[in-house]
Amino acid sequence: MGRAGLVLLGFSMCAGSSSAQAPSRDIQASIKRSVQDFYNWYVPNALRNDIGRPAALALRERRSMFTAELYNALDNDFKAQARSRELVSIDYDPFLNAQDPCEHYEVGRVVAHGSNYLVDIHGVCAGKRHGTPDVIAEVISKNGKWVFRNFRDVRPRSDLLTELEALRKARSASSHR
């Protein structure tokens, strides 16, 4: 193999390995700890019947856990629903991807996704952990903290930000009629 071929081979090996690298154990542990801490706080609140919408409580009390984009999209969705008698917003818990939450949620696998990380969140109902994730949290590092950027649904291959944007557009279109 000529010199140019060796350089090209070396470049392609480096380029390929950077996208396939798993997060370091330290990064995985840090992400898992941060996300699990959120769920340990959030789930007991989600199970309460006296606080209204638990996700709105999370936005108020844990605002720093969300990117501005996600916070604003959820906040706008909740405000739109508060102004309407009809269902015009998401009708499930966006952080659990459920209408009837389990009593506990556990963080599972963490994988790199570009500069973000995807975190499997498994419900534990009646003492049994779900085999597949209920939701996948997408986190990024911001100012030395892990924050939620989005939440993905594993079954229909959808995500919260896309759904919130579609609902916003539908509300806008119906208000112009």
- pLDDT one-digit tens code per residue, 38-72: 999 999 999 998 888 999 999 999 999 999 999 99
Token look-up 């008698």 returns 85
For the segment 78-118, what is each residue's pLDDT rounded down to a tens digit? 999 999 888 888 989 999 999 899 999 999 999 999 999 99
What is the rounded CA–CA span in Å between residue 176 and residue 157?
A: 30
pLDDT of residue 21 exceeding 80, the answer is no
Amino acid letter at 111?
V
For the segment 118-164, what is each residue's pLDDT rounded down to a tens digit? 999 999 999 999 999 999 999 999 999 999 999 999 877 789 999 99
Structure pTM? 0.84
- Maximum average pLDDT range among 11-25, 133-147, 162-176: 133-147
Strand segments (E) across the chain: 104-113, 116-125, 128-129, 135-142, 145-153, 158-159
Domains and CATH numbers, the chain: 22-175 (3.10.450.50)
